[in-house]
Amino acid sequence: MRNSGAVLILTFIAKLILQAAGVSPPGKPRLTSCRSPEKETFTCWWEPGGDGGLPTTYALYYHLENSETVYECPDYRTAGENSCYFNKNDTSLWVNYNITVVASNALGKNISDPVEVDVVYIVQPNTPENVTAVVVHDEQGPFVRVSWEKPRTADTRSGWITLIYQIRVKQEKDEKWEEYDAGMQKYYNVFSLHPDKECMVQVRCKPDHGFWSEWTQTTYVKMPNYIPRERSLWILITIFSIFIVLILTWTLNVKRNSMKLCLLPPVPGPKIKGFDKQLLKSGKTEEIFNTLVIQGFPPTTDYENLLVEYLEVYDNEEQELVLDGKELSEDFMKSKSSSDNDSGRGSCDSRTLLLEKCMDGREGSGSDQHQYSQHGETSWASTESSESQGAEPGSPESTDGRAKTWPVVFPQPHHHYPVGAVKPAYHNVPEILNQLSPHATPSNYHQLHHQDIPQQELRFSKSACRHSQSYNQFNLDSIDTPAPGVPPLPSLEYVEVQRVNPENMLLLRPLSDPNREPERSDCTGEDYSKVKVVTSHNILLLQRDTSHQCVDDYSQADQCTTQQPPHPCKPAVHQWNSVMPQEGMRVMGNGYVDSTVLMPSF
């Protein structure tokens, strides 16, 4: 009794002493990790929990899943302190290991928590080996080629394990590593490294299901000093400029019209002051004419200063003409003559030409109404003063509806142009009409409308040979005749245009020459030159002064008076530039020379 009690007391005292000394059973160990480098072996490490002051031993025990057999760690040394190494024989894949570590010391033991391990999922290979980095010089610049080998232990050859690699690069004075994945290959080219700098390279690997290995030791490589050709910059600049050019082109294309306007401003078209194009299009001729007519032009201060214009009317024999009496018949006989009245006309419009052409047509025209009409732009219409009398509207016989023509068609046109004078500026009325009334009716009537007068039509028939298509119609006003009492002249009569009033009216008046030469026309004005004398050399001397006494000249003209175109006298007229046909030359009875033929042909 005393012994057991003494033992107890001694044990208690011993414990107290031990506790005072700081020893205790070991702390609980802990398995930190288990790793397999090649999927064939594996190692487990633990950390002790505290030895309690006494030497502590650790033992690792394991058992496989679904088996109760407990095995102890076969190898505590290979892997170092506090480790357990399972060799190939002890390693089974696809099997769970239940591992525990037991720490024991003199005072007790302690067991760690169990850990389930399947070796397949704890693979962490060794680091790659033989990492080499070499500078390769390329035309685009040098780069570094890093190559390595697989870790020795990993058996990739048989396909047991598959490794993928990763490298990282850092240049000196850089803070961060650049990581690159290399896949399963064992080399890698590193570009975009700065020149003249040291470069550090590291490699690591990983199995397809597992952990990354540790990084290898740093491999150093020095980049050479080179000047990088900034090709990418140039390419960028080129692309940018092309882009700009494209945008500009597109903009220009879009704004093409406004650019054209800006660079090539449109030339303003001609504009006649007061002339309205719209009016022209609408075809109201009066208004158009009104705009054209200048007030007070031609200057009509005095009728003596008038530009004398004569309108000649030519009718052919086919046209029904209402003549004023038969007195004209003899005149019309004369019309057979191929006298020509080409004054003011173009050569193409030469009446003589017409007559020649129309000779055929005229054979049958035995009517006493030989009237030659000359048409065309240069046709002149003359009106007989008789018709112009106010009582009757323009026509000698104002028959109703019948063609009223001025029967003033003279085969011998009496053109009283001052020879040698400046060709007066004749208003080519038909021409004006042609231009001003572009909407010439198909009937080709040109109308010159006049006020106040009931429409009187002066029709000029076409020539038999239809030389011209145009008819000229003149609705003439009542012609102011200074001598209203002048009897109607049966014969050829000139009417001079007194003026053109604002309504485009031709105010005509007959030549107030009361001379009634049956065979000759009257002298029409003061601007005509009279033949003064015919010299011995058959030269006609013309007189330019305005002597109105035509009568006086009769005697002079009698020398070579002839009504026939060919006259034996053949006075040699002062030659103009053109050769005149003999038959074309006429000498008027009253001393006037028809200088039509003398005019140079146009």
Partner 1 sequence: LSLWAVAVLLVALLCLDPHSRVSSAPICTHGPSGCHVPSLADLFDRVIQHSARMHSLSNDLHSEFEQYFLPSKNSIGKIYRKCHTSSILTPNGKENAQKLAREELTEVILKLLMAWRDPLFQLHQSMAHQQDFNSFSSNKALEMGDMAHELRKGVEKVAEKMRVLGMLGNSVTGLSAAETMLPISDSGEAMSNYELLYCFRRDSNKVQNYLKILKCRIVPEHDC
- The dihedrals phi and psi of 532, each to the nearest 5 degrees, come to -85, -50
Residue 124 DSSP symbol: -
CB 263, min distance to partner 1, A = 43
Nearer to partner 1, 208 or 286 (CB): 208
Token output for 128: 């790659």
Nearer to partner 1, 94 or 297 (CB): 94
* Distance separating alpha carbons of residues 19 and 159, to the nearest angstrom: 58
By CB under 8 A, residue 120 contacts partner 1: yes
CB 111, min distance to partner 1, A = 13
Q: Which stretch binds partner 1 (CB under 8 A): 93-101, 306-314, 331-339, 490-498?
A: 93-101
Residues forming a β-bridge with 592: 530
CB 47, min distance to partner 1, A = 17
By CB under 8 A, residue 69 contacts partner 1: no
CB atoms within 10 A of CB 583: 16
Nearer to partner 1, 88 or 284 (CB): 88
Residue type, 391: A
Q: Are 18 and 48 in contact (CB under 8 A)?
A: no
By CB under 8 A, residue 94 contacts partner 1: yes
- Tally the residues of the chain: 602
Number of residues that bind partner 1 (CB under 8 A): 27
CB 95, min distance to partner 1, A = 6
Residues 157-196 within binding reach of partner 1 (CB under 8 A): 157-160, 162, 184
* Distance separating alpha carbons of residues 518 and 485, to the nearest angstrom: 19
By CB under 8 A, residue 126 contacts partner 1: no
Q: Which stretch binds partner 1 (CB under 8 A): 109-117, 218-226, 442-450, 558-566?
A: 109-117
CB 40, min distance to partner 1, A = 6
By CB under 8 A, residue 208 contacts partner 1: yes
Q: Are 341 and 596 in contact (CB under 8 A)?
A: yes
By CB under 8 A, residue 95 contacts partner 1: yes
End-to-end CA distance of the chain: 178
Distances (CA, A) of 296 to 32, 268, 300, 307, 527: 128, 30, 7, 14, 22
By CB under 8 A, residue 40 contacts partner 1: yes
Residues forming a β-bridge with 36: 123
Q: Are 412 and 492 in contact (CB under 8 A)?
A: yes
CB 166, min distance to partner 1, A = 18
The CA R_g of the chain, rounded to the nearest whole Å, is 68
Distances (CA, A) of 397 to 290, 404, 503: 32, 7, 26
By CB under 8 A, residue 93 contacts partner 1: yes
Nearer to partner 1, 40 or 477 (CB): 40
CB 103, min distance to partner 1, A = 19
Binding site for partner 1 (CB under 8 A): 39-40, 65-66, 88, 91-96, 113-116, 118, 120, 155-160, 162, 184, 208-209
